[in-house]
């Protein structure tokens, strides 16, 4: 679709965040009994529905762009925001303790990741005596250059943060096999964070190195971003409602 329309999938990278919130918040409201469990409000029906709504909204915004010159990125974000308002209103009474726990955990894990990246680049430059020595300003420049990749990793660290807080502080349980296996091995769910970093960085490396078609490459990155942010939002919203 993007190739036919001649649009870069990453141009709507941030514009689809309200639609991700729409799907995740709807599922959280179902989990907490606010919305009924119907075929279009549980997996996979909910995500198919939200996906179709997102695609139709995108096509409508492209139409407005070609006919009226209205920036499709902003109009798409605005449509998603309007559609999310009913859900947002229902989250007016939440447990901010869970939200604060997640945000603090996410900030610490994100800063740790960025610190590790800086350390690796610094060591690499000193070992190989690169002429272009790394410093803070150049590191920030690299972050801007690879901001999409960094955003994807941070989205998955957000997902890991919500899972960690849920199982360690609010008596939820992890459904996936690998995190449970690592927890049993190391006796902590902190292993979620290095696991996420290793897997997502490897996936992004494969996408960047082995996919030549720019549209496919960027569409894959958009998909990986959604797969990190969507469950993270669902987790934090579910906890925020369930732990009132």
**Residues 85-103: what's their mean pLDDT?**
92
What are the strands, taking DSSP E only, across 22-161? none
Question: In this predicted model, what pLDDT tens digit does every residue of 104-131 receive, in sequence order?
Answer: 999 999 999 999 988 888 787 776 655 4
Q: What is the DSSP string of 121-189?
A: HHHHHHHTT-SS---HHHHHHHHHHTHHHHHHHHHHHHHHHHHHHHHHHS------HHHHHHHHHHSSG
Q: What is the pLDDT of residue 135?
A: 67
HSE (CB half, 13 Å, CA atoms) of 67?
A: 6
d(CA 207, CA 214) in angstroms, rounded, equals: 10
HSE (CB half, 13 Å, CA atoms) of 124?
A: 9
Q: What is the pLDDT of residue 4?
A: 64
Q: What is the pLDDT of residue 179?
A: 85
Question: In this predicted model, what pLDDT tens digit does every residue of 24-71 receive, in sequence order?
Answer: 999 999 999 999 999 989 888 999 999 999 999 999 999 999 999 999
d(CA 32, CA 237) in angstroms, rounded, equals: 10
Question: In this predicted model, what pLDDT tens digit does every residue of 157-214 receive, in sequence order?
Answer: 999 999 999 999 988 888 888 888 888 888 899 999 999 999 999 999 999 999 999 9
Going by C-alpha positions, the residue among 218, 120, 208, 100 that lies closest to residue 161 is 100
**Residues 151-161: what's their mean pLDDT?**
97
Compute the residue count for the chain.
244
**Residues 3-15: what's their mean pLDDT?**
85
pTM summary value: 0.91
Q: What is the DSSP string of 197-244?
A: HHHHHHHHHHHHHH---HHHHHHHHHHHHHHHHHHHHHHHHHHHHHT-
**Residue-averaged pLDDT of the chain:** 90
């Amino acid at each position: 679709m993007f190739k036919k329309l001649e649009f870069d999938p990453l141009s709507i990278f941030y514009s689809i965040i309200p639609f991700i919130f729409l799907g995740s918040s709807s599922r959280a409201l179902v989990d907490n009994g606010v919305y009924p469990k119907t075929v279009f409000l549980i997996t996979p029906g909910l995500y198919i529905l939200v996906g179709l709504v997102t695609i139709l909204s995108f096509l409508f915004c492209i139409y407005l762009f070609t006919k009226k010159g209205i920036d499709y990125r902003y109009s798409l974000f605005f449509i998603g925001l309007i559609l999310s308002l009913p859900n947002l209103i229902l989250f007016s009474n939440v447990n901010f303790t869970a939200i604060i726990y997640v945000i603090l955990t996410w900030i610490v894990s994100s800063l740790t990741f960025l610190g590790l990246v800086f350390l690796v680049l610094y060591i690499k430059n000193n070992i190989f005596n690169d002429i272009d020595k790394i410093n803070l300003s150049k590191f920030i420049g690299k972050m801007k250059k690879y901001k999409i990749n960094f955003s994807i990793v941070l989205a998955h660290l957000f997902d890991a943060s919500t899972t960690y807080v849920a199982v360690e502080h609010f008596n939820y349980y992890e459904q996936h096999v690998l995190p449970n296996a690592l927890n049993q091995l190391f006796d902590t769910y902190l292993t979620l964070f290095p696991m996420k970093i290793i897997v997502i960085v490897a996936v992004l490396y494969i996408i960047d190195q082995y996919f030549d078609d720019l549209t496919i490459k960027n569409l894959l990155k958009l998909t990986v971003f959604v797969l990190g942010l969507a469950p993270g939002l669902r987790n934090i919203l579910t906890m925020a409602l369930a732990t009132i």
